Amino acid sequence: MKKRKDIITVAIDSPAAAGAGTQAKLISKNYNLFYLDTGKIYRYIGKLKLDNKNIFNYNFVKKKISNIKLRYLKNKSLLSNEVALSASNIAKDKNIRKIVHKFQQKCAYNPPKRFKGSVLDGRDIITVQVKDAMFKFYITASLNVRTKRRFEEYKKLNKKITYNEVFKSLKNRDKSDRNRKYGPLKKTKDSILINTTKLSKKSCFKKIKAIMDKKINN
Ligand code: C5P
């Protein structure tokens, strides 16, 4: 795969609803970087499984991913709890992760020319996908705060789900994402920990920006 030289690469991992997506978007806007929310690819595949139970297999997924368009990942149907759980389930599979790998590599190392680089967020970005990233962040927050945030998002989307159901769902996903064999979520020594439990979006970004500016301007 062709790799663009001298680009800014930002890798972010985080448990669900910790605020990584929000920060990644702010980073991409501020530094003109291409943004890929890698969780959306797993959600897309998770939804494919829910909708195509009888014909769902590796070849089917391969074909779908080779024809994937970024706008597919913006579909609101990917935001449900049911899809999130299905995503977390198919994400345990080594072959599924392999299929997703190539697409992510292209986005990370060869983003469209108009961008100065890339920012990817997910679960295995600092550990597997963009190990050599110029910036590596591990963003986290307490389970209670994450539940509150996700519950509010679901409310805005008119989803019928209780606080307790959201709590349990995030807890189960955390457990599965952290303990699976392939591409488990973990903090690496070379990544910077950002705990957003008591931080506003703005103050969190301020922290990240200070770290990035220091290195970029040197
Ligand atoms: O980030 P989001 O909550 O949308 O991700 C949905 C699921 O996709 C996660 O729970 C995780 O199992 C999976 N995922 C993954 N690797 C990534 C991104 C997401 O396994 N890089």
149: CATH: 3.40.50.300
Predicted confidence (pLDDT) at residue 2 exceeds the cutoff of 90: no
Q: Is residue 127 part of a domain?
A: yes
Q: Is residue 104 part of a domain?
A: yes
| Residue nearest to ligand 1 atom 7, measured at CA | 88
Q: Is residue 155 part of a domain?
A: yes
Q: Is residue 3 part of a domain?
A: no
Sign of dihedral through CA atoms 112, 48, 50, 11? negative
Classified as helix, coil or strand, 117 is strand
Classified as helix, coil or strand, 4 is coil
Distance 199 CA to ligand 1 centre (A): 23
Tell me the residue range of the domain where 190 lies: 8-197
Report the number of distinct structural domains present in the chain.
1
Q: Is residue 15 part of a domain?
A: yes
Atom index in ligand 1 nearest the CA of residue 14 equals 1
Q: Is residue 213 part of a domain?
A: no
Mean pLDDT of the chain, nearest integer: 97
pTM of the model: 0.97
| Residue nearest to ligand 1 atom 19, measured at CA | 39
Distance 85 CA to ligand 1 centre (A): 9
E strand map for the chain: 8-13, 34-37, 117-122, 135-140, 192-195
Q: Is residue 170 part of a domain?
A: yes
Residue scoring higher pLDDT (155 or 2): 155
Average pLDDT over residues 146-170: 97
Cα–Cα distance, 46 to 31 (Å, whole number): 31
Atom index in ligand 1 nearest the CA of residue 121 equals 21
- Predicted confidence at residue 40, as pLDDT, reads 98
Predicted confidence (pLDDT) at residue 1 exceeds the cutoff of 80: no
- Predicted confidence at residue 56, as pLDDT, reads 98
Read off the pLDDT band of 99 (50, 70, 90): very high
Average pLDDT over residues 182-205: 98
- Predicted confidence at residue 59, as pLDDT, reads 98
Q: What is the phi/psi pair of residue 113, to 5°?
A: -55, -30
Distance 217 CA to ligand 1 centre (A): 33
Distance 91 CA to ligand 1 centre (A): 7
Distances (CA, A) of 163 to 145, 147, 173, 196: 11, 7, 15, 20
